[in-house]
Amino acid sequence: MTLAAGLSTETSTIARNSIYGLAVLFVVAGLGGFITQRTIAFNLETRRITVVHKWFAKRPRQVIDCSFDDCIWLGIIERRNGEGESSYGIYFQPKDDKPYTLPSVGDSFEGASTVARALAAATSIRRLDIVFRK
């Protein structure tokens, strides 16, 4: 049996399943921001930074809990996309772990600079601004 445009039933089933798979992928990717949540707290009283990851319908998981003294850097991070455009954010790096970026503070250098300056002054963590290039 053949269908329009000379496609067999088997070919149209494969195409339909591929389209369905792509649709599911886009829905899951789109919901990613709603399914996960990352919270970074700078507690000035206890002088600690806490990073908590929460997945939808699961208990929150504490990823980082370190004192300000255990952090070596805090600063602006610049990312460039393939088209040469830049966006800016804030990061901090514990002594024994990888750098962590804060949830978006806007894409402008001025906004990121204001937040980095205030956090560095409040926490006494050394400031280092870096550029990542692809």
Ordered by start, the domain boundaries in the chain are 4-33, 34-132
- The topology under which CATH files domain 34-132 is PH-domain like (2.30.29)
Strand-pairing partners, residue 43, are: 48
Quote the longest CA-to-CA distance of the chain.
74
Residue 94 CA to residue 100 CA, distance in Å, equals 8
Residue 110 CA to residue 107 CA, distance in Å, equals 9
**What pLDDT score was predicted for residue 103?**
66
Q: Answer whether 29's CB lies under 8 Å from 18's CB.
A: no
Cα Rg for the chain, rounded, in angstroms?
A: 22
**What pLDDT score was predicted for residue 13?**
59
- Using a cut of 0.85, tell me whether the model's pTM lies above it: no
For the chain, what percentages of helix, strand and coil (3-state, to nearest 5) are there? 35, 35, 25
Strand-pairing partners, residue 50, are: 41, 65
**What pLDDT score was predicted for residue 47?**
93
Per-residue pLDDT of the chain (134 residues; tens, 9 = 90+): 433 444 455 545 554 544 544 444 444 444 445 567 778 888 889 999 888 888 877 888 888 899 999 999 999 888 777 787 788 888 889 998 888 887 666 678 888 888 888 889 988 999 998 866 54
**What pLDDT score was predicted for residue 126?**
93
